[in-house]
A = this chain, B = another copy of it.
Amino acid sequence: MPHFLNSADADFDARFAALLTMKREDAADVDDAVAAIIADVRERGDAAVCELTARFDRFDLTPDTIRLTGSEIAEAAAGVPDAERAALELAAARIRAYHERQMPRDESWTDGAGATLGWRWGPVDAAGLYVPGGLASYPSSVLMNAIPARVAGVGRLVMCVPTPDGVLNPLVLLAAQISGVTEICRIGGAQAIAAMAWGTESIAPVDKITGPGNAYVAAAKRRVFGRVGIDMIAGPSEILVIADADNDPDWIAVDLLSQAEHDESAQSILITDDAAFGRAVAEAVETRLVTLERRAIAGASWRDFGAVVVVRDLDEAAALSNRVAPEHLELAVADPDALAAKITHAGAIFLGAWTPEAVGDYVGGPNHVLPTARSARFSSGLSVLDFMKRTTLARMSPDALRAIGPAAVTLATSESLEAHGLSVQARLDRLNR
């Protein structure tokens, strides 16, 4: 049974707060192990990577076989059935079209003082994309990470995917091929992150690393942050659905389950203004759970972290949702645009009953790499901006320096930074000669 809350109950605030701070993940303390792995890869390069791969993935590599050859990739990709290839290509085209609109503008202008100011965006030279192996090896995640990088103009795009016992997922390779990945390495874990951040004999270092991963990967990304850029530290998935009574309870039930099936730590929350509808959805979830393939995982997530929250009205629903700052927010209500206008924090919003969140996981167009664990309060889903950086530009005319330079000298002096002031004053002296 999920948690049932009603905003009219006396203990609601305490129970809702508990729902927000509920510890869903026991982050294993792997930091010391990860520090040792990174040091080993920095020190011994490929040799360390191959040894660690043999130990963790039970797979023997040499420096020559870390990287997949073009024919290995082509052969695997060629075996993918047509229907799946077509679906991946449709998804890729839609993701590309959406992200192309995110390209930022360069600007340049001259202001009243005669200063020409502006900025210019450019891509990172090389990006590294981590793709988990095993259960969570999703071709859709390859598209969602690689396509924004390529749209941004990144020239070199390295993908690391572990192949436990040597097993490769052909769909992952096809997704890499479709989205323009330039190198694929069959390594994973903290050793892959270390190799991409510091480089080895066979892998040149990258500038930015993105992509999901387990506790080792997350700890390694945190450690290499600063040496390279990273996207975010992703937590278990979440969905919040705000639905009025004018919905099919079964639709909302499968929407909740579509996050719950990801992970026992996932969290699915329904907020509704109709208690009977809330109960009907909970019943529909139980019905679906009887036959669902991943019922063990989805059932555990729903039982431990799922919730049905009954509120007085949709304004209250919006306010509660903003406290959650959900990764995914479905608005299955009569006027979803009006409700969306009241939402201040959410990774992605899915408007109306015809927009199940899963459409956004694959073919909607927006990115499915989104801020979890309430971090939509301060961060955004993956975008082309994550693979670009901005250089600011300034050019002073002599008149501009005459107009604003003296203020710089005053402030430099007040900060006891004499050379700062002198560098401006030397030029002002010339102008005043």
Contact = CB atoms under 8 A, between A and B. Distances in A.
A113 B383 CA distance: 22
A414 interface: yes
A418 B261 contact: yes
Interface string A359-380: 1111111110011010111111
Contact of A225 (B139, B222, B352): B222
A285 B420 CA distance: 14
Given A98-B117, A229-B378, A362-B408, A355 B395 contact: yes
A115 interface: yes
A214 interface: no
Interface string A208-240: 100000000000001001101100110000000
A430 B44 CA distance: 59
A173 interface: no
A407 B355 contact: no
A378 B411 contact: no
B228 A378 contact: yes
A366 B119 contact: yes
Interface string A181-195: 000000000000000
Contacts of A383: 390
A122 B135 CA distance: 35
A424 B376 CA distance: 25
A57 B420 CA distance: 29
Interface string A409-433: 0111011111111111011001000
Interface stretch (A47-55, A80-88, A273-281): A80-88
A254 interface: yes
A379 B229 contact: yes
Interface stretch (A64-72, A309-317, A397-405): A397-405
A419 B362 contact: no
B262 A404 contact: no
A122 to B, nearest CB: 6
A226 B98 contact: no
Interface in A332-385: 336, 340, 343-367, 370-371, 373, 375-381, 383, 385
B365 A394 contact: yes
B107 A423 contact: no
A283 interface: no
A407 B90 contact: yes
B257 A359 contact: no
A367 B395 contact: no
Contacts of A248: 426, 430
A344 B394 contact: no
A394 B349 contact: yes
B427 A251 contact: yes
A101 interface: yes
A286 interface: no
Contact of A421 (B171, B226, B358, B421): B358
14 contacts: A98-B117, A101-B109, A139-B411, A222-B225, A229-B379, A255-B423, A350-B394, A353-B427, A356-B423, A356-B424, A358-B408, A363-B407, A376-B391, A378-B389
Q: Which 5 A-B pairs have the closest CB atoms?
A: A229-B378, A366-B392, A351-B395, A87-B407, A358-B420
